[in-house]
Amino acid sequence: MHDEQNTTRGARAYLSYIGIGLAAGVLSGLFGVGGGTVIVPLLVLLLGFDQRRAAGTSLAAIVPIASVGVISYAVSGSVAWIPALILALGAVVGAQIGTRLLPRMSQRTLLWGFVAFLAVVIVSLFLIVPSREAELDLTWTTGLILVGVGVCTGILAGLIGVGGGIIVVPALMLGMGVSDLIAKGTSLLMMIPTAVSGTVGNLRHKNVDLVAAALVGVSACTTTALGALFAAHIDPFVGNVLFAVYLLYIGYQMARKAIRAKN
């Protein structure tokens, strides 16, 4: 325990948290994600967090990150408020389920689950044809779909520590034909209550490092708006390719760790 505490405190650790936050902020704004795909693996790989504590810490850090991101997208009218609330209702329920499952799952299972999750995201990035014009028509059918997507998102958020953006953004664009910018802004809004709900559950199970979460979250807030600005100007397909390359690297690193895991 003493060695673990040394690796997560001190000047090197604090600088690492800030660096992780800066990177997460840019990706959060650029891709409409909470930054969990950056925060979780880097906490594990750089600072020796176990997967459970990394997931819980990431989810707590996502709250301020997503809040700043929503403001950035709302300024340009790229947030669908009602669909975001519907998604959030489902996700809050799902997040509680995920956080209850988290303490009962082995490290190896969680690591391989994260790798499989990244693989699905990478494939989805090449299936999506982003459009800047499409909007979301809210009907009873689309409402039920949004609830279902929200529940699934919340479960994965509680288990893996992501805010759900890398599920919601592809689901809205690919499954419902929504504009990529609206999908990103809506995703960031729905993940705020999702992350809060999941964090409450993780705090009960002592799976959150609040100091790390605060440093990562506050640092990320300084670069989230910059990422959102890039999103409005970069070619959507180029952005997807760059994100896929990053996820391939992270997936490779996490797979290696999963192979070495004892339980």
Query: How would you write 236-254 as a 3-class SS string?
Result: HHHHHHHHHHHHHHHHHHH
Range of the domain at 169: 2-260
How many structural domains is the chain composed of? 1
Count of C-beta atoms within a 10 Å radius of residue 7 = 14
Q: Which residues contact 126 (CB under 8 A, 6 or more apart)?
A: 240, 244
- The amino acid occupying position 73 is Y
Residue predicted with more confidence, 145 or 201: 145
pLDDT exceeds 90 at position 18: yes
**Residue percentage of the chain with pLDDT more than 70:** 91
CA 25/CA 227 separation, integer angstroms? 7
pLDDT at 57: 92
pLDDT exceeds 70 at position 125: yes
Classify residue 5 as exposed, middle or buried by CB count within 10 Å of its CB (0-12, 13-18, 19+).
exposed
CA 132/CA 184 separation, integer angstroms? 11
pLDDT at 91: 85
The predicted model gives 193-216 an average pLDDT of 85
pLDDT at 183: 85
Which among 101, 97, 124 is positioned nearest to 113, based on CA atoms? 101
pLDDT exceeds 60 at position 4: no
Q: Which residues contact 53 (CB under 8 A, 6 or more apart)?
A: 43, 207, 208, 209
Contact between 117 and 220 under an 8 Å Cβ cutoff? The reply is no
CA 125/CA 25 separation, integer angstroms? 20
